[in-house]
Amino acid sequence: MSEKPLITLTGVTKSFGAFKALDDVSLAVDAGQKLVICGPSGSGKSTLIRCINRLEKHEAGVITIGGIVIDDSAAGRQALRNNVGMVFQQFNLFPHLTILQNLTLGPMRARKLPAAEARDLAIHYLERVRIPEQLDKYPAQLSGGQQQRVAIARALCMTPQIMLFDEPTSALDPEMIAEVLDVIEELADTGMTMICVTHEMGFARQVADMMLFMDQGRIVETAPPRTFFTTPQSARCKAFLGQILRHEVRL
């Protein structure tokens, strides 16, 4: 990537009361890059991507997307609207709307797309996440894995350049994790820029071209997966990986 980074964070800080969730975080993500963030709970992983999407407002520092500063200005909101999709741990589908309505709401209301076009878009992305023929069901009628794939399709319907995943498989039953990770992997192959918070290290190895380890609101270690998993530099990261990988190795 010879161009400027697509996303930059410079000295970003965010506190909840006395607790510093993000402490002077700086980061650059190129277009097409796949970043996987891991770290212990409370380390600021989720807060980091929630700040990029402005679900949390950072107190200090600058976040830019495509060179535009993300803040409450019209330009900042516009840059978010056009570029960033998000998938949540708890899916957050709209329970009172059908699958089709969940997918077409954004395109029709925020993008002013005609109903027929929005419907075509929804069907296209539902096929991509391998959920056809469920258009008129309600979210509660689907399994957790299906719901999360619908949530991914809902985000894709806004045709974002960047997808943020906040522990997308943490609320799923074990046997449903694979079907969701497969869909995300396929998405990665299309060249989508992705930032994913996850503890699925097998998946991270497969998909990530950059690993990021966070602890106590700071980025402790950044490395490509090969070096990250084989020769972690910091003691904290070594201990964390030791804990999390121990079971994987035994299997």
User: What is the C-alpha separation between 147 and 87, in angstroms, rounded?
Assistant: 11
Question: For residue 217, is it left (φ>0), alpha (ψ between -120 and 50) or beta?
Answer: left
Cα Rg, the chain, nearest whole Å: 18
Is residue 81 at the binding interface for other proteins, with CB under 8 A as the rule?
yes
- Helices 144-156, 174-189: inter-axial angle, 10-degree rounding: 20
- Return the residues of window 93-112 that contact other proteins according to CB under 8 A: 93-97, 105-106, 109-111
Distance CA 244, CA 229 (A): 11
Q: Which is nearer to other proteins, 168 or 232 (CB)?
A: 168
Q: Which residue among 29, 80, 122, 176 contacts other proteins (CB under 8 A)?
A: 80
53 sits near other proteins (criterion: CB under 8 A): yes
* Candidates 19-27, 37-45, 134-142, 235-243; binding stretch for other proteins (CB under 8 A): 134-142
Which phi and psi (to 5°) does residue 162 adopt?
-125, 135
227 binds other proteins (CB under 8 A): no
Q: Could you tell me the smallest distance in angstroms from the CB atom of residue 50 to other proteins?
A: 8
Sole window of 29-37, 133-141, 185-193, 206-214 interacting with other proteins (rule: CB under 8 A): 133-141
* Smallest separation, CB 247 to other proteins (Å): 30
Q: Which of residues 3-22 bind other proteins (CB under 8 A)?
A: none
Site for other proteins in 138-157 (CB under 8 A): 138, 140-141, 151, 154-155, 157
N residues, the chain: 251
The rounded Cα 126 to chain-centroid distance in angstroms is 19
CA angle 137, 152, 79 (to 5 degrees): 125
And the tokens for 155? 């985000």
- What is the closest distance, in whole angstroms, from the C-beta atom of residue 197 to other proteins in the complex? 15
The reply on whether position 68 binds other proteins by CB under 8 A is no
Please identify, using beta-carbon distances, which residue of 151 and 210 lies nearer to other proteins.
151
